[in-house]
A and B are shown apart, each in its own frame.
Chain A
Amino acid sequence: MKHAGVLLAVIALLMPHILQADTSDAKARGLEIATQADERDSGWQFQSSDMEMILRNRAGKESRRKISTRQFEVEGDGDKTLSLFQEPRDVRGTAMLTFSHGLEPDDQWLYLPAIKRVKRISSRNRSGPFMGSEFAFEDLSSQELDKYQYRHLRDEACDPYQCYVIERIPRYENSGYTRQIVWLDQTEFRSIKIEYFDRKDELLKTLDFSDYQEHPGGFWRADRMEMTNHQTGKSTTLLWFNYDFETPLKSGDFNKNALKRLL
């Protein structure tokens, strides 16, 4: 009986795959949902926020980072992002400017305040950890629609919401993932949970979004994100503060020469 239970569970798990295995319907539906989510989060033009990152190792020992970010929306291309590091204090004033380009490699510059030097850096390292955290660069980068191939898996409850569950496969080069599974709530199309599968297609990390707030223009942002690495036992919490969708930012603020004048 015990074995039959396991078998039933396996069949139950495989059912959605068996029923929808790569049907073009599931793909079309997946793209449709992803497009809706993308459209819901378009048109904000610019935003700024402060982020605190809490890194926890397996033993629970914590270290913290603080970063201010500004973003500028670019129609028809990836967004421009400016990240200014505040803590740890030995990197205070270091700034990173990213022009993301969907499938093409991003343009990225780093400003080192101690020697007043702006360096163009390779954006090849998409799968590398961001500041020693469980977030990879690709997890925090601008999420353009054409970066993935989508497939609708199923609909299910994701307490307290009702969710669409879609699979997305990175189409850009050098990703650390074979695929991701994303839970989106059916009313506002907010990301509720993402599971990341490594190159061996084993579950690597889970990202949980919580404390969603609605901002002017109807844009939703999670104030808390929790990334858990199942393979190492490490985790990283992102806390977001001071979201501002109203103070205007100009494209000219996102210039490699403007990196030197950030406060």
Chain B
Amino acid sequence: MTWVQRGLRYLRLLAVVLWASAFASPAPADVSKQFELSLQGQFFPGLSSDPADIREQFFTGIEAEFSSDFDSEHLIGTFLPYGRIASGGGEMNHVDIRELNLLYTQDNWEGIAGISRVFWGVTESGHLVDIINQTDQLEGFDGEDKLGQAMIRISRLFDQSTVDLYALPGFREREFLPPGQPLALPFTISDDKPLYGAGNEAQHMDFALRLSGYQGIADYGLSWFSGTSRDPEFVLQSTGTYRPRYPLIHQAGLDLQLTLDSWLWKLEAIHRTFESDTVTDDFTAIIGGTEYTIYGLADALFDLGLLAEWHGDSREDRTTVPMQNDLFAGLRVSFSDTQSSEFLAGIFSDLDDGSDSVRVEASRRILGDARITLEAQSFVNVDSGNALSYLKDSDFIVLSLQLFF
């Protein structure tokens, strides 16, 4: 597959040349720029006052976004670097190129080359089908943050559906929270480079195919992924540390949403098979549920959404799979005020061992166009045999302020 990699290298070079010319030519193409400065405080009130415990930490992050059409009808270039500085420094400082790509569109065809991000799926309390990008674990506990992934995507857009074909060179390892971090895994990750199912390790070319579209009230997606798993297994080393191993997998995915008046019915399902010599068995996992919204309550002051989603996993092992038979129940309040205030509260319950975790998210626009966000999670009652038992003292409150320029 070196032709794809070589092609990608040329396209990256082309991107750099186009960017340089967009800035430097005598009549520069319009480059739209925007910057987001974020200030974040993380608090862990459940931890001891032992100096070894991190009870609070602070981050300053900046995300820039440059985009340009290079005075062309068909091209859009995007460059989106991100970086943050942590009060504790070290491994919690973080830099990533979220996007650096060129998008070419022609009639019903679309092609992208470079680093980009992709989201697939419909459910709210978890994401199963979404697989293209590696999860950015340094940024958030909820797994919503993603690392940029190098790709070539070719898409054919039809009236009510789209077919996407992806070639994904250059695997990205998961970046684990360093030891001592309150939300870090309960074992030591080996410093050795990870193990891979693929002979050519991180150079392995992954492929994905997706058909998505809508028909009346139904929005659907069918996907296939073949390549290196984004989720590591852990192999115990003789030193007592655990070494991440990224097996080769094949994964079929389905996502479906039915939009029926005030009801949204949602389903995500995956079936993952592993190539030989893996420690994990093939499995099927699903998230299915509903969101019902009551509009215009209290004299049109707010809308109230009620959510319920069930997570199931054929591995059925509550000690290693966090969401093997769990229910999420929540409510969402969207205010119709000029600050677009939002509030979401929910509880994850393990139906096998009764473990409960409560999550709250709230946000509101302030000072014209800044946004303040609160995110908190409490592991109120976690059974000692549950996969998340190591987090029982790691209740957290995250307060963020985002400023836009």
Identify the A interface with B (CB < 8 A): 55, 57, 63, 87-92, 105, 107, 115-117, 119-122, 124-125, 127-129, 131-132, 251-252, 255-258, 261, 263
Q: Which B positions have Cβ atoms within 8 angstroms of A? A: 32, 34, 67, 69, 76, 103, 105, 107-108, 110, 117-119, 121-122, 144, 155, 157, 159, 162, 212, 214, 219, 257, 259, 261-264, 293, 295-296, 300, 303, 336-340, 365, 368-371, 402, 404-405
Q: Say what secondary structure dominates the interface of chain B.
A: strand
Assess whether A88 is in contact with B365, with CB atoms less than 8 Å apart.
yes
Contact yes or no, A91 B340, CB < 8 A: yes
B303 lies within 8 A of A128 (CB): yes
Asked whether B338 lies within 8 Å of A132 as measured between CB atoms, the reply is yes
In the complex formed, the residue of A with least CB distance to B69 is A263
The smallest beta-carbon distance between B137 and chain A, in angstroms, is 16
A89-B65 Cα distance, complex, nearest whole Å: 13
Asked if A90 and B212 sit within 8 Å, CB to CB, the answer is no
Contact of A87 among B155, B157, B259, B369 (CB under 8 A): B369
Q: B157 near A88 (CB under 8 angstroms)?
A: no
Cα separation A73 to B134 with both chains bound (whole Å)? 41
Chain A neighbourhood of B159, CB < 8 A: 251-252, 255
Distance of B81 from chain A, by nearest CB (Å): 15
**Which A residues lie within 8 Å of B336 (CB)?**
128-129, 132
- Is A124 touching B157 in the complex (CB atoms < 8 A)? no
Contact of B293 among A88, A120, A124, A131 (CB under 8 A): A124
A63 to chain B, nearest CB (A): 5
Compute how far the CA of A127 lies from the CA of B259 in the bound complex, rounded to whole angstroms.
18
Known: A128-B295, A252-B108. 9 other contacts (CB 8 A): A105-B261, A115-B119, A120-B264, A124-B262, A131-B340, A251-B159, A252-B157, A257-B155, A258-B157
**Cβ distance B292 to chain A, nearest Cβ, rounded Å:** 10
- In the complex, which of the residues B368, B370, B402 has the most CB atoms of chain A within 10 Å of its own CB atom? B368
Contact (A116, B118) CB under 8 Å given A90-B404, A257-B212 = yes
Cβ contacts A to B, 7 pairs, < 8 Å: A89-B404, A90-B404, A107-B259, A120-B122, A122-B262, A132-B340, A255-B157
Do residues A257 and B293 form an inter-chain contact, with CB atoms below 8 A? no
- Contacts A105-B261, A107-B214, A116-B117; A261 near B105 (Cβ below 8 A): yes
* Cβ–Cβ contact A116 & B296, under 8 A: no
Known A-B contacts A256-B214, A261-B76; A128 and B369 likewise in contact (beta carbons under 8 Å): no
Look across to chain A and name the residue whose beta carbon is closest to the beta carbon of B219.
A120
Report the 9 A-B pairs with minimum CB-CB distance, sorted nearest first. A89-B404, A88-B369, A132-B338, A89-B369, A257-B162, A90-B371, A116-B119, A125-B295, A117-B119
Residues of A within 8 A of B338 (CB): 55, 57, 63, 132
For the complex formed, measure the closest distance between the CB of B216 and the CB atoms of chain A, giving whole angstroms: 8
Assuming the contacts A122-B261, A261-B76, asked whether A252 and B212 have C-beta atoms less than 8 A apart, the reply is no
- In Å, the complex CA distance between A256 and B219 comes to 10
Q: Would you call B257 and A120 a contact (CB within 8 A)?
A: yes
Question: Which of A107, A121, A252 meets B107, CB within 8 Å?
Answer: A252
Tell me the bound Cα distance from A241 to B32 in angstroms. Answer: 20
CB distance from B135 to the nearest CB of A (A): 12
B259 pairs with A121, CB closer than 8 A: yes
Residue ID in chain A nearest B404 by CB atoms: A89
Contact present for A63 and B119 (CB under 8 Å) = no
